Amino acid sequence: MNDYLLVNGGRPLKGELIVSGSKNGGLYAIAAALLTASPVTIHNIPEIADVLEMAAVCRSIGSQVEIDGNTIQIHTPAILSNSPPNDLVAALRASFLVMGPLLARTGEAICASPGGDVIGVRPLDVHLAGFRALGAEITQEESSWVAKAKSLTGDRIFLDYPSVLGTVNVMFAATLSIGTTTIINAAAEPEVAMVAEMLNQMGANINGHGTSLINITGVKELHGVEFEVKPDRIETGTYLLAGVATGGDISIINGQPKELDSLLSKFNEMGVKVEIFSSMEGIRVSALKTFHGIALQAVPYPGFPTDLHAPMAATLTQAIGVSTIHERVFDNRTAYVSQLRQLGAKIIDGGQTVIIDGGVPLIGTSVRALDIRAGAAVVIGGLAATGTTKIFDIEHLDRGYAHLTERLVNLGADVKRCKEHIIGD
């Protein structure tokens, strides 16, 4: 039996919400815990499937892992295996982040090419080139990458692309290297800055995080830490977009508005009312009147997040006028278009650019969540549609959104999680 969501649309979302800890930041923090032999406690971890997958990867290399609600404890006194099983790595893109800690602590790391959402080519070249610059020898054996180094030495490393995972992985390895490493064209995403702060609290010496130039002076070892993950800015953006699409009024208590300037500026351009409250940490949006189409580009931070491309597209189906979204991060982000068309949306998929003819009523039907953010898009589409929408393949939503059904219901949505009964079960 497979679960699906049953969405009865047409209800404005209204109310307050506290979002979960950052999905991506939480996964990076779990990987960072592997850099020390001391216990690490991480709070505000989201209760999502990807966290469980990452915990399994850590256990496979020797970590003792305990999860209690939103807190995870990780203790890796010794690395028992420098090669996590391929099936675990294949389930999660962020699993490749064990390469940096394994290489730094043991001098060898073996990891298959990772899995995750099918949203285009996400090359590992940035990671591997960074490891080479630090002194590692990189080879490929069958389906796995092998990195070996007697010692790692700091260097100036220019990233061909400001890859978030690549920046984090190289930063992990450089933290325990000899000398100073400078990462040029580094990813500036808040989640990168957050995990750098965690590493500094563990005894690392990292400066410049949150910018495109990161300096790391290597240390001999790191100690344990108790750390709290920041709220998830993508989850915040998703719920705000759902509120706008349904003509609702939503407040996110821990919304982190400074990290969502690109989204909030687009709301202003659309004619959506935006308020910042609670000592500048909360965000309220209301779209009780019509809003207008816009043009935007999904680019690395501080630009508009690629992870909000699909949810924004779903929202813009309800705007007055034509909107365009140009994707400049992934080459297959627009897979969601086929599912929004099932709901009646008028969208042209031009590959990296989509053109949305807004203001066309959506009608409930059966659709699929093709990946985490495409899933969020069809949820928003279903909430804005007339009638009932069935959303299948919701295991993708479970990977990125904790307690999605309950939270939507608390905001006034008519959403149920149901079992699909298959003949023969």
Q: Classify residue 101 as exposed, middle or buried by CB count within 10 Å of its CB (0-12, 13-18, 19+).
A: buried
pLDDT score for 118? 44
Calpha distance 144→139 (Å, rounded): 9
User: Residue 74 CA to chain centroid, in angstroms?
Assistant: 21
- Band (425; pLDDT cuts 50, 70, 90): very low
- pLDDT tens-digit map of 303-319: 999 999 999 999 999 99
Total domains, the chain = 2
Angle separating helix axes 190-201 and 164-175, nearest 10 degrees: 10
Its pTM stands at: 0.95
**207 shares a domain with 259:** no
Taking residue 46's Cβ as centre, other Cβ atoms within 10 Å add up to 25
| 141 in any annotated domain | yes
- Band (26; pLDDT cuts 50, 70, 90): very high
For 137, the token pair is 């020898």
pLDDT score for 422? 59
| 209 in any annotated domain | yes
pLDDT score for 119? 42
pLDDT score for 380? 99
- pLDDT tens-digit map of 28-76: 999 999 999 999 999 999 999 999 999 999 999 999 999 999 999 999 9
Average pLDDT over residues 367-376: 97
pLDDT score for 179? 98
Instruction: Answer positive or negative: Cα dihedral of 61, 67, 72, 77.
Output: negative
Average pLDDT over residues 176-187: 98
Average pLDDT over residues 124-132: 94
Which among 373, 360, 364, 361 has a CA at the least distance from the CA of 415? 364
Which one of 79-88, 217-226, 285-294 scores highest in mean pLDDT?
Answer: 217-226
* 87 vs 278, residue with greater confidence: 87
State how beta strands 156-158 and 180-184 pair: parallel
Domain boundary at 193, 228, 263, which?
Answer: 228
> Residue 7 phi/psi, 5° resolution?
-115, 120
pLDDT for 127 beyond 80: yes
pLDDT score for 116? 46
- Contact at 8 Å (CB) between 10 and 361? no
Which among 293, 289, 288, 236 has a CA at the least distance from the CA of 264? 236
Domain boundary at 228, 254, 275, which?
Answer: 228
**235 shares a domain with 106:** no
- pLDDT tens-digit map of 105-124: 999 999 998 854 444 444 68
Q: Report the CATH number that the domain containing residue 250 is assigned in CATH.
A: 3.65.10.10
| 377 in any annotated domain | yes
State how beta strands 346-349 and 353-357 pair: antiparallel
**359 shares a domain with 244:** yes
Calpha distance 163→316 (Å, rounded): 28
| 387 in any annotated domain | yes
**209 shares a domain with 284:** no
**255 shares a domain with 187:** no
pLDDT score for 93? 85
Domain boundary at 202, 228, 254, which?
Answer: 228
**167 shares a domain with 102:** yes
**193 shares a domain with 57:** yes
Residue ranges with strand state E in 221-338: 225-228, 249-252, 273-277, 282-286, 295-298, 322-327
Query: Collapsing DSSP states into helix, strand and coil, what is residue 119?
Result: coil
- For residue 182, the cross-strand partners are 156, 215
- For residue 398, the cross-strand partners are none
- Band (340; pLDDT cuts 50, 70, 90): very high
**212 shares a domain with 89:** yes
- pLDDT tens-digit map of 32-45: 999 999 999 999 99
Q: What percentage of residues in the chain have a pLDDT greater than 70?
A: 96
Average pLDDT over residues 326-345: 93
Query: Collapsing DSSP states into helix, strand and coil, what is residue 383?
Result: helix
Average pLDDT over residues 2-16: 96
**209 shares a domain with 320:** no
pLDDT for 147 beyond 90: yes
**237 shares a domain with 358:** yes
| 129 in any annotated domain | yes
| 425 in any annotated domain | no
| 222 in any annotated domain | yes
| 207 in any annotated domain | yes
Mean pLDDT, the chain, rounded, equals 95
Enclosing domain of residue 272: 2-19+231-420
Name every residue whose Cβ is closer than 8 Å to that of residue 246 and which is 6 or more positions away in sequence: 9, 10, 11, 12, 13, 383, 384
Calpha distance 195→216 (Å, rounded): 13
**405 shares a domain with 273:** yes
Name every residue whose Cβ is closer than 8 Å to that of residue 396 and which is 6 or more positions away in sequence: 117, 369, 370, 371, 372, 374, 375
**11 shares a domain with 38:** no
